[in-house]
Copies of this chain bind each other. A is one copy, B any other.
Amino acid sequence: MRTGEQYRKGLAKLKDNVYMNGKLVSRDDPVQEGAVNVMAATFDYALDPEFKGIGTAKSHLTGETVNRFTHIHHSMEDLLNKQKMTRLFSQELGGCVARCMGIDATNALSVVTYEADQKYGTEYNKRFLNWLKRVQKEDVACVCGQTDVKGNRPWRPHQQKDPSLYVRVIEKTKDGIIVEGAKAHNSFSSCVDEDIIIPTRHLTDEDKDWAVAFSVPADAEGMTLINAAFSPPKRKKLQAPYSKMGATHSITVFDKCFVPWERVFMCGEPEFAGKLALLFALFHRHSYTGCKAALSEIMLGATALAADYNGIANAQHVRHKLADMISVVELIYAAGIAAGVNHTVAPSGTYVPDTNYCNVGRMLAGESIYEEYMDLAAIAGGLSATLPPEADFENPKTKDMLNRYIMRNPDVSTEDTHRAFRLFQDIMASHWGGHKLIDALHGGGSPVIEKVGIYRDFNLDHSKNIAKRLAGIKTDANDPKGELNRLTHAFI
């Protein structure tokens, strides 16, 4: 396992292919320092004694201790611990832990490469496991590029006027494949060693050229990252952990990009494209039952702090509101636990969390986040928006006035009051905070997408049979009464 520092050094060596704000920049450009800090933390936390047993796991390939972000789940405990890790690291960081995309894509590939090989006698799984061994050994940081730019939404890949609006294979050679197209919202792609590319949707036989999955070094020839970097507003004196983090999202463009065969994990099997897309989404939504529980708890903690500092913590409506916020935290996390408990085991041996529990947890998180922002704003009050800039707290002409008039709860120092409201402003009223709010809605799949999955994966006929039987209407004889709706309750 590497340290955060080793990771940073490795990153700095990558070739420059990242454009930000109109310029070609190196990976250690200060503008993405916050995002790099987040990724580095996933290395340091694995080694941190306070997180003992959380950030590491025992490789099923080598038996060695590896960073959990490179691990394939091989037990229910693995699933539960990954959820727990995601929550703990996220609350420590103040938000997104970034590297979950790597573990989630890797786990999905472990299942689908195996099944494709079973059907077609290909050797995707072998290639994948070789690749994985190196990833575990060298503690490689990966993310996943899934969402294509998609052009006109109602059209399938092969129907688009420009066929590269979905990433596709334009040529196969003896040594590998040549790909073209672009992935959108490729989060933290500018902060990793490798970018795992997978399909974004169900494909038909006519979309064969678009059924492609592979991993490339993030500075591969023919790959350009047009990057948007975000971080909380910089502080001058009032340093705080929250201000240290950040995120990047790129439109990652592949222009005749070559990928050698040993890095190709799917190529021309459209019936597995949708499966891979869904499976990554599934693992990723399970991650969200961890990180979004953390995010909701951060919003909860901030709101409770605001109530204390404003001296209104005992108002009944405030306590009720906090109870509602707690409830969201608990239900999101409970959904992830239930998903882990009700896992299935894939033919590859990978443990897979339950679909519906993941979807309902993620959907609740997505649907609640705007209300959580409203709760914090409501209880913190307008000062979250109108707080004068930090510099006015330093200017000798205005400093004393501000310190005098910002005072509220007499048990709280002016500096702590300032710190708290500065945090609230960064969360709610900054470029960073606004982008995070949208991210919390859409990242890992929007609520409307989860609705589709929930409707699809639930055995609605079973529910209808319950109603029919109670009504005295003939039911399906194959639907026994001693069963729950869901068929995957492996554990109980």
Contacts and interface: CB of A to CB of B under 8 A. Distances in A.
A339 B255 CA distance: 51
B455 A322 contact: yes
Contacts of A297: 463, 466, 485
Nearest to A242: B470
Interface stretch (A66-74, A118-126, A267-275, A429-437): A429-437
A24 interface: yes
Contact of A382 (B185, B304, B402, B473): B185
Given A50-B481, A320-B451, A431-B430, A21 B389 contact: yes
A212 interface: no
A225 to B, nearest CB: 10
A326 B364 CA distance: 12
Interface stretch (A109-117, A133-141, A370-378): A370-378
Interface residues of A, number: 164
A492 B81 contact: yes
Contact of A165 (B249, B381, B405): B405
As for how many copies of this chain the complex holds, the number is 4
Chain B CB within 10 Å, residue with most, of A152, A233, A298, A360: A360
A24 B298 CA distance: 37
A433 B436 CA distance: 13
A464 B327 contact: no
Chain A interface, DSSP helix/strand/loop, else mixed: helix
Contacts of A150: 408
Interface string A195-230: 000000000000000000000000000001011100
A98 to B, nearest CB: 14
A460 B305 CA distance: 10
B423 A378 contact: no
A61 interface: no
A467 B483 CA distance: 44
A477 interface: no
A361 B386 contact: no
A480 interface: yes
A283 interface: no
A310 interface: yes
19 contacts: A22-B395, A50-B481, A149-B406, A154-B311, A184-B405, A226-B401, A228-B387, A228-B388, A240-B472, A241-B469, A242-B471, A253-B405, A331-B364, A334-B357, A338-B338, A373-B437, A385-B439, A419-B472, A428-B438
Given A22-B391, A23-B395, A326-B356, 19 more contacts: A19-B398, A50-B482, A92-B481, A154-B311, A162-B404, A226-B398, A233-B431, A297-B466, A315-B316, A320-B448, A322-B460, A326-B460, A327-B454, A330-B360, A334-B337, A370-B373, A420-B471, A429-B435, A433-B434
Shortest Cβ-Cβ A-B pairs, 6 listed: A22-B391, A240-B472, A301-B467, A301-B463, A429-B434, A334-B338
